[in-house]
Amino acid sequence: MSQNGAETFRVEDTMIRMAQACHQPAQSFVTPTGIVFSLGTDNQTHLIRVSERRVNLNLVTEVNTISRRFCSGHLSLSETHAALVAVEQSNHQYPVPLQILMAAIASGCFLIMFGGVWNDFAAAVVCGGLGFALALYLHHITRIRFFSEFLASLALGLMAIGCTRIGIGEMEDKIIIASVMPLVPGLLITNAIRDLMAGHLMAGVAKGTEAVLTAMAIGAGVAVTLTLI
């Protein structure tokens, strides 16, 4: 759940509830990069590092459903373990081509929502889709946070300006704004606010900082494009 976009308080609550369903006292402390969990009365503590994070809310929903069924007594401990292993081993991530297609369509819709003209719809779709695809590719080969967002926003800025120069688009600012929307860390911002409201100050501040740095990387990429052209 922590790897796939769940809130920190949800991860802690799920672990505590499942331990209580087994009549075991437990303590859980979750951060965006690690989980500390203590089960039983012998004070044995386990640390698990969360090294990779992505967005897959479908997996979070399935794990949450399994935990609730276990806590309500509908699943035994062995059945719950088997179900969680099956969820972990299955591929719940949407295919990359479908992600790119949806990002492209979303960019076009954002263009209209932000007051753009229909003549720029195709340009926004192309720039948004290619920019999102480039961000996925760069993140896969570099594994450097914020670098992929910076280069992707720089590239889609160049593409948007190029479209207006060759006559495909009219309003390059609207095209750029709409195209970068699939890169905006909306889930991070939402989770940061929810964690802060739940009292998880460390996780909330960490996620909020990550969201701000990601937004700054996107803005810096667009700013470099506008400065160079």
Single pTM value for the model: 0.77
User: Which residues are CB-contacts of 127 (< 8 A; sequence separation ≥ 6)?
Assistant: 107, 156, 159, 160, 163, 175, 176, 179
The C-alpha atoms of residue 202 and residue 206 are separated, in whole angstroms, by 6
In this prediction, residue 92 carries a pLDDT of 65
Which amino acid, 193? I
Kindly give the confidence (pLDDT) of every residue in the chain, 229 residues in length, as a single tens digit, with 9 standing for 90 and above: 888 888 888 888 888 888 888 888 888 888 888 888 887 766 677 878 887 777 778 888 888 889 898 888 888 888 888 988 888 887 667 788 998 999 999 999 999 998 888 888 989 999 999 999 998 888 888 777 788 889 999 998 899 888 888 888 788 888 999 999 999 888 888 888 888 888 888 888 888 888 899 899 999 999 998 888 7
CA 81, 76, 10, 15 torsion: positive or negative? Answer: negative
Return the pLDDT at 42. 67
